[in-house]
Structure 1
Amino acid sequence: MDRLTSMAVFVAAADLGSFAAAAASLGMSPQMVAKHVVFLESRLGARLLNRTTRRQSLTELGRAYHERCRVVLAEAEAADALAEAARAHPRGTLRINAPVTFGSHSLVPLLTRYLRDWPETEVDLSLTDRMVDLVEEGFEAVIRLGPLGDSALVARPLAPYRLVACAAPSYLAAHGAPDSPEALAGHQCLDFAHWPRGRDSLWRFTRAGDTVEAPAAGRLRINDFRALLRAALDGFGIVLGVETALRDDLASGRLVRVLPGWEAPSRPMHLLTLRDRRPTAKLRRFVDLVLSEFGPGGGAGR
């Protein structure tokens, strides 16, 4: 039997003066009321109520136990009320993980809007390109790039992570623009480094259903996109990056798109959460906002 339920039944029986009155109040049979009381007495190894066919009274232990049960039940109700309030109104700290580039360029503006809309919330955002474990590391939501394996998590698809290739006008003036993916072999390609692997990676481009894999050879490899972007703006080479991070520089002309007839690959992106039939309001509102901003109908490169 559930001990908390048995405590509530015992308190009702003590307050109302009989098993029959407690049963009527709680919507159960007098026999079930007796079972709950006997369950508690068996756990404690002592009698809580002195019972005869005509009356009942609390034992000395029963009086003390009755008072403590009232405190425990009141605390349980307060805890339930707190949980219900958390489900009804966003409050508390939300722990989120996202890839570094997407998080810094796209997610942070959304989070500041979220925090303005819900002033009783706080956000702890962890930016990393490694795969994290939601349960072990205590995250409530994770944005993940790439294909997903089998998982017990809830995966909500987001718009694909769109990439474009571009370079500074000064680089193109000095070295010319590649007219095909294969021509990248003669250029400095600024490569996002994932250690360990070979010195050169492959950039994939598609056009009219055809896919070409071009070696992205270059003398500079960095594991931070912001640093790669700085090198591209300095005119050192061609960078392949997400549209969101490059949008302002492309619009201003500080960078120019290369291979405009070719599409760089998109990477699938998902919002992952734990399975919960009654998620907190802070998480529900965050999920709604992410889906509205980055859902399949939109795009990470907006």
Structure 2
Amino acid sequence: MDILVNLQAFLATADAAGFSAAARKLNVSTSVVAKRVTQLEARIGTPLFHRSTRQLRLTEAGQRYVHRARGVVTDATDLLSRMGEKGHDLVDHLRIKAPTSLTVARLADAFSAFQTQNPKLKLEIVLIDRPVDPVTEGFDIAIGAFPHSFGGVVDEPLCPLKRLLCASPAYLKKHGTPKHPRDLVEHRCLSFMPTGPEWVFDGPRGRISIQVSPLLSSNAARSPATASR
């Protein structure tokens, strides 16, 4: 499957003429797309793109391979789709890592419905709120909220995830409302441990990174949310 996702990254980059635009199309990080293209180039032993600070252009080899790669991806996607059609019951043991809060809020019902559709399948759901390499830690599937890519693992985006900065009205009334991300250094912050104490904001003048000193840190996302009330 590595070769298939690498080919998909190559085609998306060729179509978008850039890693960033391809990443948005595939709903993964720019570094993941660049890594997949680099892995494909290493596999075939030749560069597929001319890289510069201003543009990304297909090499002669890239131009030769792009049409054939598109056919391979189309055929493989069609084959996998047909293999997944109804009539092929899943029979096995499936070990899944999932975030605690997301499972409680959304995934529990999805897991239940999935098992109802596949009654011969045994599900083992392990709740862990940190990035997990499924290969080394023995999981068939690892669901996470952060863009971590591991070797030998196929990344499949499920849905976009928005991160919000929140405060209760009572807190803002007592301590004041921050006017700039740098003001957070002086505030009583609550942190979700997997995200760390470095908070990053995108502004009109670029990205701003703030190092906070959390009053409370937890590896369960619901704890800071509850404490903020």
Give the shorter-chain TM-score range: 0.5 to 0.7
Code of the aligned partner of 1:187: H
**2:107 & 2:205 partners in 1: Cα distance?**
32
Query: Which residue in the other structure is 2:221 paired with?
Result: 225
Query: Which residue in the other structure is 2:119 paired with?
Result: 119
Query: Which residue in the other structure is 1:53 paired with?
Result: none
Q: How many residues align?
A: 144
Query: Which residue in the other structure is 1:155 paired with?
Result: 155
- Evaluate the alpha carbon distance shift between residue 140 and residue 222 of structure 1 in structure 2; reply closer, same or farther with a 3 A threshold: closer
Structure 1 residue 185, shift from structure 2 partner: 2.0
**2:205 & 2:156 partners in 1: Cα distance?**
27
Code of the aligned partner of 1:102: L
**2:156 & 2:131 partners in 1: Cα distance?**
17
- Evaluate the alpha carbon distance shift between residue 208 and residue 113 of structure 1 in structure 2; reply closer, same or farther with a 3 A threshold: farther
Query: Which residue in the other structure is 2:165 paired with?
Result: 165
Question: Mapping of 1:177-256 within 5 angstroms?
Answer: 177-193=177-193, 201-208=197-204, 210-233=206-229
The CA RMSD over aligned residues, in Å, is 3.0
Query: Which residue in the other structure is 2:9 paired with?
Result: none
What SS does the corresponding residue of 1:158 show, helix, strand or coil?
A: coil
Unpaired runs of at least 5, structure 2: 1-86
**2:105 & 2:212 partners in 1: Cα distance?**
24
Code of the aligned partner of 1:193: M
TM-score (norm: length of structure 2): 0.52
Q: Deviations over 1:39-69 (max 9, x none)?
A: xxxxxxxxxxxxxxxxxxxxxxxxxxxxxxx
Q: Deviations over 1:47-103 (max 9, x none)?
A: xxxxxxxxxxxxxxxxxxxxxxxxxxxxxxxxxxxxxxxx82134432111233333
Question: Mapping of 1:1-302 within 5 angstroms?
Answer: 88-135=88-135, 137-149=137-149, 151-193=151-193, 201-208=197-204, 210-233=206-229
- Provide the identity percentage: 30
**1:150 & 1:132 partners in 2: Cα distance?**
9
TM-score (norm: length of structure 1): 0.41
Q: Which has the higher contact order (CA 8 A, sep 6+)?
A: 1
Q: Deviations over 1:195-215 (max 9, x none)?
A: xxxxx8221111236211223
**1:167 & 1:92 partners in 2: Cα distance?**
45
What SS does the corresponding residue of 1:163 show, helix, strand or coil?
A: coil
Q: Which has the larger radius of gyration?
A: 1
